Structures are given as C-alpha cells and as structure tokens.
Amino acid sequence: MDHNELEQRRKAATPRGVSVMYDFYASKAENATLWDEQGREFIDFTAGIAVLNTGHRHPQVVAAVQKQLAAFTHTAYQVVPYASYITLAERINALAPVQGAAKTTFFTTGAEAVENAVKIARAATGRPGIITFSGAFHGRTLLTMALTGKVLPYKKGFGPFPGSVFHARYPNAQQGISVEESLESIEYLFRSDISPQDVAAIVFEPIQGEGGFNIAPEAFVNGLRALCDRHGILLVADEVQSGFARTGKMFAMEYYPQAKADLITMAKSLGGGLPISGVTGRAEIMDAPEPGGLGGTYAGNPLAVAASLAVLDIIEQEQLCCRAQTLGAELVEVLQQSRIHCPAIADIRMRGSMVAVEFDDPATQKPDAKFTRLVQRKALDAGLMLLSCGIHGNVIRFLYPLTIPNAQFKQALEILAQALKS
Ligand code: PMP
C-alpha cells in the first residue's frame, strides 16, 4: 500500500485528536522488533507504551490465546463465569503487596481500573473526596482526566470534570519540590478545600509514568501512609505503568515495605498485548460495593485472562525482575558515559528498567523538549524507537521488552549513545 495514500486516508477518516507519533505503519512485530509496511525494521523501545514487558507476541502468550480462542472467546464473566478468571485473581492476590488477605477484579483499560478503584474507595469509606498529584496521569475518561495533573493536552476543552477531586504537589527534586512541601500541600488542601474526614482516597503513582518517571521518595510514601492512617483515608497506588517486573520487582510498591497500599490498579503489561486491567486490594475494602456494582461486558475477557496467566509464568520462568535490574544498570551506564559529550543531560532516573533521561538546555537550565525530539529523531533514523514523557516533554523513557535479546539490546545502546552525541 502506498504510504502517502495511507496518510491521506488516515487524516480523512480519523480525528486529529488521536494524534500518532510515527509516520510509518506497523505490519509485524516479534519480541523487541517491529517491521513497518515497507519492510523496515525497528528496535522497539516503546513497547506500545509499557504494555510489552514480555515482548511482542511472546510464544507462550500466543499459545495461551490460541488455546482459549479454540474454546470460547466471550461469555461476560458476570453472566457465565470461568475458572481462569479466578485463577488469575488468586495469583495476583498472592503477588500484590497489600496488607492481609486480598481480592482482585478485572476490567479492560487502565483508566477503567482507576475509575473502579475510586468507586471501591468511595463505597468503602462513604466519603467523596479524592486527592491526586501534579504531573499525574490516570487516564482519559472524565473521572481519570479529573484525576490527571496535567492540563495540556489531556484536559483542555473537556470540562466540566467530576467534583471532589483535588491536586497536591508530587515531590520532584528537579523541580525543587521537597517531600516536606509535598506533604504540606496535602495539609493545605485540608485547610482550604476539603476536610480530611471527607476524603476517600489518595491516588498516586509510585513512579509517575507520563509525568516523567519521577520516583516517589520513601519518606513521601511513608508520609502518605501515616496521613491516611491518621484520617481513615485509603491509599491507592496506580501501578498501571510500573507493574509487572518493569521496576525490577513485580510491583513498584514492593520498594516501600512500610507503606502498603490499600488498593493497587494495574493494566498494560499484565496482558502482554491483550487489553486487560485490574484492581487488587484488601479483601474487606474490595467487598464494599454491592453485588452488581462492579464489572463490565468485556471486563476480564477470557482471551486477555489467558494471556495474563502466561505473562505471570513468563515473568517467573525468565526471571524478568532480575533481568530488569541487569538491563537497567547497563542502560544507565551508557547514559552516564554520555554525559561527557552531552551537556543537555540534566538527570538520569532508574528503578530497575524504568529508566529515564531528562534534558535541559545547558545555557538556560530550562527543560529542552526540542533537544529531546532531536535525540528521538536521530535514534529513529538509526532504527531505534524511543518514547518521551515529562510535563515539559523533555524526558526520554525507556520501555524495551525485558525479554529483548542481549545482542539487540547492545545494538540499541550503541544507537542511543550515537544519538546523544550533540
Ligand atoms: N494510569 C497510569 C499510571 C498510566 O500510565 C496510564 C496510561 N498511560 C493509565 C492510568 C491509563 O491507562 P489506559 O490508557 O489503559 O486507560
């Protein structure tokens, strides 16, 4: 198919609101490699926005889905249940770092998981208020847009938003926001906007994804837990982007052993490329909504559940948590070495393979989105797909499959090192 013709058809048939990053079209993908319609080959460090920790079309995922495809594809779990849904819930209950007995329910998208975590928190506490953070991203539905802490491009023109949602400041050393200031900004909300007795939940990302791979300091998360305990507020960890071995642990919340979340939202890499999300939480909280209050036609679709069970096997069998640590360390070493000839590197952040590099203009010390785009362009020209993030668009995040072969990873790091030579 002619590329220009396809571009024209795309612009004529689909709205500009669904903007696309690349000007080529996918035709095939396998593990960390993606081919376009013209047969060009790319190393995929975007992984469909953090969905493919186990790579494109992992053979075990493909086999599990094919097996399920031959049995049944849909019943609606709430109409006719199936055992695989229960098995997946049991396995996640055993893995998720929540206090005491856990229960899990499934949905389809990350935003849906976050919406339902809010529903469950409200039902459990009988309170309306939700506190989230600057720079947060929780989804594109009306409620999750309200929770999201970035106006452009997510919120502009889409209001009014659901009420009782308040934003505190997420700690950020680069932007000069200390843990104390962040916790104080919540106290400020309690004085100026909402009584803590009216707050159902504090929803936060243990590592902000779209916001720039900002890692929550331990003192901050412990501070949130203490604050929640003091006021009877539930702590909700949004692990949609950070879950399933990306950080070197199954869940990023395992880095905060003293501050267990009451509810955890998950999606993306759970399904290994099939759409599924979930909410896991303390059993008594999860049971707060009345029967029929949770669910959805496609929620916990059998094909996606089969894929998820395979993903959990793969993470264990291929020791992907360990591999995330090794690959992340190799990448960070290349980034550190690049500092010598790339003065724009302002910060390097790493938790396992959740790695990011932030660029500032060396002359002004201001965020440099233009340079970030230049690095992306140079890498792409050499066959490496990179994804940006950050509230100023000046961060490159690395989301390669953790199953990437060593030689291909090395090749990608060489391309990256070249692209950083300004
Ligand atoms: N929460 C977080 C932390 C995310 O990173 C995202 C997606 N980038 C979402 C929620 C929304 O997920 P989805 O796009 O599947 O609705």
Gap from CA of 386 to ligand 1 centroid (Å): 18
Co-location of 312 and 323 in the same domain = no
Residues 311 and 324 in one domain: no
CA of 414 to the centre of ligand 1 (A): 30
The CATH number of residue 48's host domain is 3.90.1150.10
Task: Determine the distance separating the centroid of ligand 1 and the alpha carbon of 205, expressed in angstroms.
Answer: 10
Bridge partners, 168 (sequence order): 133
Cβ of residue 279 lying under 6 Å from some atom of ligand 1? no
Distance from residue 340's CA to the centre of ligand 1 (Å): 35
Q: Is 389 helix (H, G, I), strand (E, B) or coil?
A: strand
Alpha carbon of 89 to ligand 1 centroid (Å): 20
> Which domain range does residue 193 map to?
62-317
Mean pLDDT of 244-262: 98
How far is the C-alpha of 32 from the C-alpha of 52, rounded, in Å?
Answer: 9
The minimum-distance atom of ligand 1 relative to the CA of 141 is: 16
DSSP state for residue 42 in the 8-state scheme: E
CB proximity list for 235: less than 8 A, separation 6 or greater: 201, 202, 204, 224, 225, 228, 259, 260, 261, 262, 263
| Three-state secondary-structure class, residue 248 | coil
**pLDDT tens digits, 226-245:** 999 999 999 999 999 999 99
From 279, 298, 317, the end of a domain falls on 317
Give the nearest ligand 1 atom to 111 CA: 16
Last-in-domain residue among 275, 294, 317: 317
Statement to judge: residues 16 and 149 lie in one domain: no
Residues 345 and 408 in one domain: yes
Of 317, 334, 364, at which residue does a domain stop?
317
Taking CA atoms only, the protein residue closest to ligand 1 atom 13 is 110
d(C-alpha 358, C-alpha 394), whole Å: 6
CA angle 400, 205, 16 (to 5 degrees): 65
Ligand 1 mutation target, pool 49, 116, 138, 251, most atoms within 8 A of CB: 138
User: Could you tell me if 323 and 303 lie in one domain?
Assistant: no
Same domain for 336 and 415, yes or no, is: yes
Co-location of 36 and 111 in the same domain: no
The amino acid occupying position 356 is A
Contacts of 63 (CB under 8 A, 6+ apart): 310
Ligand 1 contact via 205 beta carbon (within 6 Å): yes
Q: Do both 247 and 326 map to the same domain?
A: no
Ligand 1 midpoint to CA 122 (Å):
21
Arithmetic mean of pLDDT, 144-158: 95
What percent of the chain is modeled with pLDDT above 90? 98
Q: Are residues 112 and 247 in the same domain?
A: yes
The whole-chain average pLDDT of the chain stands at: 97
Number of domains in the chain: 2
Backbone angles phi, psi at 413, to 5 degrees: -65, -35
358-397 per-position pLDDT tens digit: 999 999 999 999 999 999 999 999 999 999 999 999 999 9
- CB of 208 shorter than 6 A to ligand 1: no
Give the predicted TM-score (pTM) of the model: 0.98
pLDDT for the residue 1: 67
pLDDT beyond 70 at 255: yes
The per-residue pLDDT for range 203-212, each reduced to its tens digit, is: 999 999 999 9
- Do 244 and 390 lie in one domain? The reply is no
Q: Is the CB of 252 under 6 A from ligand 1?
A: no
Ligand 1, pocket-test mutation among 109, 115, 137, most atoms within 8 A of CB? 137
pLDDT tens digits for 17-68? 999 999 999 999 999 999 999 999 999 999 999 999 999 999 999 999 999 9
Q: Is the CB of 376 under 6 A from ligand 1?
A: no
Residue nearest to atom 1 of ligand 1 (CA): 138
CATH at 247: 3.40.640.10
The DSSP code sequence of 261-287 is BSEEEE-GGGGTTS--EEEEEEHHHHT
Same-domain pairing of 209 and 302: yes
Whole-number pLDDT of residue 44: 98
What does the pLDDT read at residue 422?
Answer: 66
pLDDT classification of 174: cutoffs 50, 70, 90: confident
* 305, 324: one domain: no
Closest Cα to atom 5 of ligand 1: 241
